[in-house]
Amino acid sequence: MNILVTGANGQLGNEMQLVAKNSKKDKYIFTDVCEGYEYLDITDIDAIRKKVHECDIKCIINCAAWTNVDKAETAGDIVETLNATAPENLARVMKEVDGELVHISTDYVFGGDPYNIPCKEDQKGTPTGVYGLTKLHGEQKIAATGVNYIILRTAWLYSEYGHNFVKTMLNLTATKPTLKVVFDQCGTPTYAGDLAAAIFDIIENHKYKNHTGIYHFSNEGVCSWYDFTIKIARLARHNYCDIQPCHSNEFPSPVTRPAYSVLDKTKIKETFGIKIPYWVDSLETCMKNMDALKI
């Protein structure tokens, strides 16, 4: 089967390139709008349709999105275009060829209503900002096409690649004598390598058949951003930075972020037989990889 991956130069896209090398039967085609990849503008449905027919694509894994949460508030229509219209385009084309769409969504579809237990897939979406709202619209538009789809909501994504919280904290704890990090937002860090491995397993072993729907994936466990930073610093042996907990209101933001952003992963584990690693173990794996890559 020929599989097209969009947003190949992002965190998840790079991890998908690594796991795809293990495929015994599928061919992966990686696209983006930057140099080094086959060019594909997913806001252009005719371009998608042409690529799908030329390459006989039967599955698309959409890793592309607008992900800058704060800038989404003032960026205009481009956020809705990338996060909702573009996924709809992919879904429509896959529907035409009876193919499968795997789409990545986010915990930011929640947050407006108070809750203190892990979010299940059928919980009502109450996004607090443009990013979460447009991602929710993307989910809704995909479902409305009638395509075979798997939507994977994830949270606090990081990897060896691109810009992310782990890399930022590694730099700050290495260079700052003191650092304040919020402790009143809780969630689960998710290593993009684990998410890529889960997607690969679902596709490679054809587990997706007859399982259209929304699923949650993050690493196991719960922590605050403060706890996450402490673990990053200790693993890196950045022992001279005094890391202190603080409240979210000490760092004003255009968007109110979910205070409790834990995803219930029962459905994905039971449906696909996936074993999910604990967040600390995955963080250690990622940081070892960074050392090996000299990142």
Distance of CA 158 to the CA centre of its chain: 9
Contact 109, 132 (CB under 8 A): yes
Q: Which of 184, 259, 264 is nearest to 226 (CA)?
A: 184
Burial degree of 43 (CB within 10 A; 0-12, 13-18, 19+): middle
Q: How far apart are CA 217 and CA 153, in angstroms?
A: 6
Contact 111, 256 (CB under 8 A): yes
Distance of CA 60 to the CA centre of its chain: 15
Contact 102, 57 (CB under 8 A): no
Tokens representing residue 180 in the block: 């304040």
Catalytic residue among 28, 37, 131, 215: 131
Contact 9, 34 (CB under 8 A): yes
CA 210-213-215 angle, to 5 degrees, is 120
For the question of residue 161 being annotated catalytic, the response is: no
Contact 55, 29 (CB under 8 A): yes
Q: Which of 121, 282, 279, 281 is nearest to 215 (CA)?
A: 121
Contact 191, 283 (CB under 8 A): yes
Determine the angle formed by the axes of helices 86-96 and 45-55, rounding to 10 degrees: 40
Catalytic residues: 131
